[in-house]
Amino acid sequence: MELKRVLLKLSGEALMGNRQYGIDPERLAEYAEEIKEVLELGVEIAIVIGGGNIFRGVSGVADGMDRVQGDYMGMLATVINGMALQSALENAGVETRLQSAVEMDKIAEPYIKRKAVRHLNKGRVVILSGGTGNPYFTTDTGATLRAVEINADAILKGTRVDGIYTADPEKDKTATKYENITYDEVMQKDLKVMDLTAFALSKENELPIIVFNMNEKGNLKRLLEGEKVGTFVGK
């Protein structure tokens, strides 16, 4: 399967590196170099980052915060992460555009599908922040929605684990990895690939998901050069 345009989904926690919270500049710089290498292959890349390293709305709600307020705070956290990644990419010599579903014209373009696609066509990395712009939706759902809108060939979900396993490999040493798995199998086995809304949207639009370890150097490039990396989810 040839991937010409992809949506790279990163968790906010991935940006922490070995820190307890916040952003690790070294990890950011590593990601920027990985993304630059892929861009040089001629692949068009849009990126969605979570905000869990700064604020997680669900945790706020558990502490008694209003859900809508908590979700908006989480959206703002994704904009902060987007700004940090944009800076790291530009330091690496990559042309980028930061777009936000929550309008804040001093720091980011408003998300407009046609504009995002035009940037991608020109070889720019487009960072899509602010989630969907609506509360009650995760960044997984935001990433899937954007991937469908920009006609991405696949969602690449960069995690700390090298694919999808029968159980959490960090807790269960007997867990085995799936090389390929169908949407229906993921649902039947209740594997936590993405939240249900995001997963239903990707299944409905036959959008493949590849779950891989983003922290292993060179993985992103190998994946986009056609090597078997991570777990492929499809029909």
pLDDT surpassing 70 at residue 104: yes
Neighbouring C-beta atoms of residue 85, cutoff 10 Å: 24
Q: How confident is the model at residue 2 (pLDDT cuts 50, 70, 90)?
A: confident
Q: How confident is the model at residue 57 (pLDDT cuts 50, 70, 90)?
A: low
Looking at the structure of the chain, the number of domains it has is: 1
Closest CA to 81 of 47, 57, 118, 109: 47
pLDDT surpassing 70 at residue 60: no
Task: Note the pLDDT of residue 59.
Answer: 67
pLDDT surpassing 70 at residue 6: yes
Q: What is the pLDDT of residues 105-145, one digit of tens each?
A: 999 999 999 999 999 999 999 999 999 999 999 999 999 99
Segment 39-47 shows an average pLDDT of 96
Quick one: tokens of 162?
């090298």
Task: Note the pLDDT of residue 58.
Answer: 65
Task: Note the pLDDT of residue 160.
Answer: 85
Give 192: exposed, middle or buried? Use CB within 10 Å, 0-12, 13-18, 19+: exposed
Q: How confident is the model at residue 63 (pLDDT cuts 50, 70, 90)?
A: confident
Q: How confident is the model at residue 44 (pLDDT cuts 50, 70, 90)?
A: very high
β-partners of residue 181 are: 233
pLDDT surpassing 70 at residue 189: yes
Task: Note the pLDDT of residue 169.
Answer: 82
Structural domain span for residue 199:
5-234
**What is the per-residue burial (b if ≥16 Cβ within 10 Å, else e) of 21-56?**
eebbeebbebbbebbbbbbeeebbbbbbbbbbbbbb
Give 145: exposed, middle or buried? Use CB within 10 Å, 0-12, 13-18, 19+: buried
Helix then strand then coil, in percent of the chain rounded to 5, is 40, 20, 40
- Give the residue, 160 or 40, on which the prediction is more confident: 40
The CA–CA distances, whole Å, from 179 to 5, 31, 55, 115, 210 equal 22, 24, 33, 36, 10
CATH of the domain at 69: 3.40.1160.10
In angstroms, the CA 4 to CA 173 distance is 36
Q: How confident is the model at residue 56 (pLDDT cuts 50, 70, 90)?
A: confident
Which residues of 23-108 form beta strands (DSSP E)? Answer: 44-49, 96-100
Q: How confident is the model at residue 172 (pLDDT cuts 50, 70, 90)?
A: confident
Average pLDDT value over all residues in the chain: 93
pLDDT surpassing 90 at residue 173: no
Segment 139-152 shows an average pLDDT of 97
Closest CA to 211 of 235, 181, 174, 172: 181
Residues of the chain with pLDDT > 70, as a percent, come to: 97
